[in-house]
Amino acid sequence: MTAHHAIEITLTRPATGCELLRARRVVALSSNTDHTRLLALQRAKTPGRALRVLRQRLDAVLPIDVLTTHYPDWQGYVLLNCALSHTARTAIRQTAAACGQRPRDFLSQAMADAAARHKEERARHLTTQLKGRLAQHTPEELLLCTASALLSHHNRQQSGKSSSTPS
């Protein structure tokens, strides 16, 4: 069965009006206000095939940086399609071979590791920010702010409920 796949297109720079006009002659597109991200529907049997077909159709028309599937596949993955230079592809192939992996598996693992590192760094940064803010206030001020937030939350919940009186 051939399905339609939503593909998000990230551009290296904002698309000009002429580029968008030419691209819309090839495929139906919607764009954000600054014309750096587009969305298209591509008919194909698989999400990966949809990415490849759309890349072939639009590569000469738009300054495409990355294509991604807009929705996760059945395994929960969002597929990514980026055009790599010959030098980058060679380096990936050589490094993957040295690790005894296929290039796609090596790249997938490297990206997962980078995402995990980014998540850890962000958590560490937020923790540092929180500690810095906590150091600026006395325990009494923190307790007062917490109590105030809890009471306002409780009052909002209570005002949302309908009051019924027993008859």
pLDDT tens profile 147-156: 888 888 777 7
* Alpha helices per DSSP H over 61-102: 86-99
CA nearest 64: which of 77, 78, 80? 80
**pLDDT at residue 127 in the model:** 87
CB atoms within 10 A of CB 43: 12
The C-alpha atoms of residue 145 and residue 122 are separated, in whole angstroms, by: 25
How far is residue 52's CA from residue 41's CA, in Å, rounded to a whole number?
A: 13
H-helix or E-strand spanning residue 11: strand 3-11
Residue 145 confidence (pLDDT)? 83
Position 167 scores a pLDDT of 43
Residues of the chain where predicted confidence (pLDDT) is lower than 50: 163-167
pLDDT tens string 38-67: 999 999 998 999 999 999 999 999 999 999
Amino acid at the residue 122? R
